Amino acid sequence: MTEIEKFFEWEITFKSSNDIIEKIESNAPVTEKEKVKNIAKSIISEVCKCNHPVANKLIDWGNLKGRAKNTKRLRQIIETLLTKSLPSKPDERLKMVKEIDSCIKGLNKELMEGIEQKIKSAKKGISPLHVPGSVTHDEARNLYLEESYNDQALLQSAHRVLSSICIGDDIAIYFASDELRDALNEDLRRTLGLRHVVDENLLNLKVYPRIEEDKPYLIFMKFLLWLRGRAEVSEEKKRLSRILDLLRETEGTIFFTPDRERMKYSTIPLPKLDAFFLYWLDIEERRRVLVQMRNELYRFMDDVLNSAGKVGERKKAKNELELLAVAYDIFSRELIRSSFIVHEPVRRIVDIVVELSLRYGVSANLHFLRNLT
């Protein structure tokens, strides 16, 4: 099985023929030609879904689906069925199901081939699918480096993105170790039911919605704290201990894709984490300080927004909490990279907390600062 085939097996969900037929039945019969086209377009748009938030942004699914022969074939079938009553005889209905199944199977194959072709086409300039933050030679050729890549190198670069694990909609993390990736996939599926930490599952990491979700180092540190905290639970200790051991010695990459503005996309190399584990995660007292900091700032953000909302200043408070999250992200970045405390972002955090605490009458517990050394 190729890496693209694995990606489709893990991340791409196709509607069944029964789902499509139910949608047609709920709308048929339709007599207006324009309405038929609009309903068919709506059904086609929902035929497949990419469950990898970052890859979903990097792949032009609309273009791939629009050019596929099986999309056109399926649209014709749907439009025909919308204009009349669906067959009721078992043999006619079975034929209809087989036709739709054939289209879905063919579309699956065409999309895989389309993505592979897109990956291999960037011979003189890697694209965002290879390295988020880059551009292909079609968009802006690299005139001074004259980069050139063979098919295998391009596939390997894209494989890192396609096999990464997402934490929220904007951040995906790739680890070089096959064993670590497999172990994390299994653990996340077992714990969360998905191989990504998204939507309400971000609350398990104490990631504050719409304020901290686009802070890559902060997100990554909270992910590590979540894994390390769960390792204290007896029934998960053995499995997570192995994952944590692999994390210590494995280099990784963060793919950062905030919003849909590709100019903001970036690829961030992660160092080996052995020093961060040695000086912070493995020492209970120090780890507890990071946990207290995470929990207290999360609570503080919630209290500030609630209090600000009562006086009509929720948006204003949210903007200032964004600055707090930026400082927290810088703090996390330096701690992960060097294991040392950089005091400037800590001072910035304290200044913002004190100011918002006084303005909105919200209590703030900064006792964790005593041990943040």
CB 325 within 8 A of CB 215: yes
Q: What is the DSSP letter of 195?
A: S
Cα(3)–Cα(9) distance, rounded to whole angstroms?
10
Among the listed residues 36, 37, 44, the one whose alpha carbon sits nearest the alpha carbon of residue 104: 44
In angstroms, the CA 134 to CA 349 distance is: 33
pTM value is 0.90
pLDDT tens by residue, 85-107: 788 889 988 999 999 999 999 99
Per-residue pLDDT tens digits for 163-213 = 999 999 999 999 999 999 999 999 999 999 999 999 999 999 999 999 999
Write down the residue that tokens 């609309």 correspond to: 62
Query: How many Cβ atoms from other residues are within 10 Å of residue 98's Cβ?
Result: 11
* Per-residue model confidence (pLDDT) at position 24: 94
Average pLDDT for runs of 10 along the chain of length 373? 92 96 92 94 96 95 96 96 86 93 98 92 61 55 44 79 96 97 96 95 96 97 97 86 96 91 89 96 96 98 98 98 98 97 96 98 93 79
DSSP annotation string for 240-293: HHHHHHHHHH--EEEEE--TT-GGG-EEEEE---HHHIIIIISSHHHHHHHHHH
Q: Which of 167, 195, 166, 189 is nearest to 55 (CA)?
A: 166
Domain ranges of the chain: 3-120, 122-163, 164-371
